[in-house]
Amino acid sequence: MDFALTEEQLMVKDMARRLAETEIKPVAAELDENHEHPAEIVKKMGELKLMGIAVPEEYGGGGMDNVSYVLALIEISKACASTGAIMSVNNSLYCYPVMAYGTHEQKMKYLPPVAGGEKTGCYALTEAGAGSDPSGLLTSAIQDGDEWIINGEKKFITSGNVASYAVVAALTEKGKGYKGISSFVMDLEKTPGFKVGRVEEKLGINASGTAELIFENARVPVDGLLGNKSEGFKQMLTTLDGGRVGIASQAVGIGRAVLDEALEYAKVREQFGKPITSFQAIQWKLADMATELDAAELMTLRAAWLEDNGKPYEKAAAMAKMYASDVTMRAAVEGVQILGGYGYCKEYPMERHMRDAKICQIYEGTNEIMRLVIANNLIKGK
């Protein structure tokens, strides 16, 4: 077994780390405080091919593998989890389904601006009544000549307030539950009948907007249908497998920031006349964090490697997402504890890490749903 990274993977990781340390980390607290979409940073990331890492160069992406994507996303999320969320959705939830299910013409039209970071992409599946169970979605798409007419409201859509492009799930056959779902790709700026609804106030990842998308007799060209009609649910399951590798990476990045900052603080903070690192209680917290984060990172890289090598990775992705987000949440709570009162205050970034970590246990399938996915795979002998 070879754990060594290729030259290209190392190069991407270093490039992402440099960008993260010099241009993202210094402004992360301000972006969080102002709930500001990091438009300039996203543009720069696009120029460096980080917004469409695995998109072939022909369609404006980086033409790299998913291991490179994981390595880069960990670095970006370590500096700013909100920017990590935007990057993850752009790559995994917008670019991937267009790449996997789009025709050459759709890829030429819908990938370059988003993979190049000029425009942002989003993925709209969730609705008020359809979260963990997307078969309850109500948004409909009815063909009318050379257009689809879309009606419905999507909820909690990452980057929905700033996105120019979207992949949207809608029912093309009512009464068939998940078997009637199809996916559509669209240019939101050229979709009459579309508007952004409420932008949520959240606990964390505040620089990443979370918005409602409202479609009222919205008209999408007939060629907006992604892949075949009624195959949206199958497409969604595969898209979310990759997305979960992204969320696992985001979690590992947040966890790495927690560990670095807790360690740095504990080495210099003195109580009872000694650095707090001399207390076994603190040492054990740091040791647990480091061990669990290494395990989470290895699981995440394994899932990406399986994907890159064309092997089944649904279970590995669910395990990585669940484990990485659970250990990062635990690490963040302990990180605040290690900093004591300072951990609870905004003078240090630790409280932000704790707020940001929580979402990784919820989106792209809650960790309860991850356990269902893992158990279903086990029962089927996969």
Ligand X SMILES: Cc1cc2nc3c(=O)[nH]c(=O)nc-3n(C[C@H](O)[C@H](O)[C@H](O)COP(=O)(O)OP(=O)(O)OC[C@H]3O[C@@H](n4cnc5c(N)ncnc54)[C@H](O)[C@@H]3O)c2cc1C
Using CB under 6 A as the binding rule, whether residue 131 contacts ligand X is answered as: yes
Q: Which one among 126, 235, 239, 300 touches ligand X, defined by CB under 6 A? A: 126
Read off φ and ψ for residue 126, nearest 5 degrees. Answer: -65, 145
Using CB under 6 A as the binding rule, whether residue 178 contacts ligand X is answered as: no
Using CB under 6 A as the binding rule, whether residue 250 contacts ligand X is answered as: no
Using CB under 6 A as the binding rule, whether residue 158 contacts ligand X is answered as: yes
Q: Is 149 helix (H, G, I), strand (E, B) or coil?
A: strand
| Residues 123/96, Cβ–Cβ less than 8 Å | no
- Give the DSSP letter string of 156-210: EEETTTT-SEEEEEEESSTTSGGGGEEEEEEEGGG-TTEEEEEEPP-SS-TTS-E
Q: For residues 47 and 133, which CB has a smaller minimum distance to ligand X in the complex?
A: 133
Q: Which one among 12, 31, 157, 276 touches ligand X, defined by CB under 6 A? A: 157
* 92 exposure class (CB count in 10 Å sphere: 0-12, 13-18, 19+): buried
Residue labelled with tokens 């700013």: 80
| Residues 37/196, Cβ–Cβ less than 8 Å | no
Q: Which stretch binds ligand X (CB under 6 A): 155-163, 244-252, 286-294, 347-355?
A: 155-163
Q: Is 113 helix (H, G, I), strand (E, B) or coil?
A: helix
Position 35, amino acid: H
Q: Which stretch binds ligand X (CB under 6 A): 109-117, 122-130, 175-183, 292-300?
A: 122-130
Q: Which of 47, 351, 364, 368 is catalytic?
A: 364
**Which residues share a beta bridge with 183?**
169, 226
Taking each helix axis from N to C terminus, what angle separates 280-308 and 314-338, rounded to the nearest 10 degrees?
A: 160
Using CB under 6 A as the binding rule, whether residue 343 contacts ligand X is answered as: no
The CB density around residue 152, as the number of other CB atoms within 10 Å, is 20
| Size, binding site for ligand X by CB under 6 A | 22
Using CB under 6 A as the binding rule, whether residue 125 contacts ligand X is answered as: yes
Q: Is 23 a catalytic residue?
A: no
End-to-end CA distance of the chain: 22
Minimum distance of ligand X from residue 125's CB (angstroms): 3
Q: Is 341 helix (H, G, I), strand (E, B) or coil?
A: helix
Question: What is the x/- site pattern for ligand X, positions 61-90, by CB under 6 A?
Answer: ----------------------------x-
Q: For residues 90 and 106, which CB has a smaller minimum distance to ligand X in the complex?
A: 90
Residue nearest to ligand X (CB): 131
Using CB under 6 A as the binding rule, whether residue 364 contacts ligand X is answered as: yes
Q: Which stretch binds ligand X (CB under 6 A): 156-164, 211-219, 279-287, 300-308?
A: 156-164
Q: Which one among 359, 360, 373, 374 touches ligand X, defined by CB under 6 A? A: 359
Q: Which one among 177, 196, 362, 377 touches ligand X, defined by CB under 6 A? A: 362
Catalytic amino acids? 364
Residue ranges in contact with ligand X by CB under 6 A: 89, 122-126, 131-132, 156-158, 202, 210, 359, 362-366, 368-369, 372
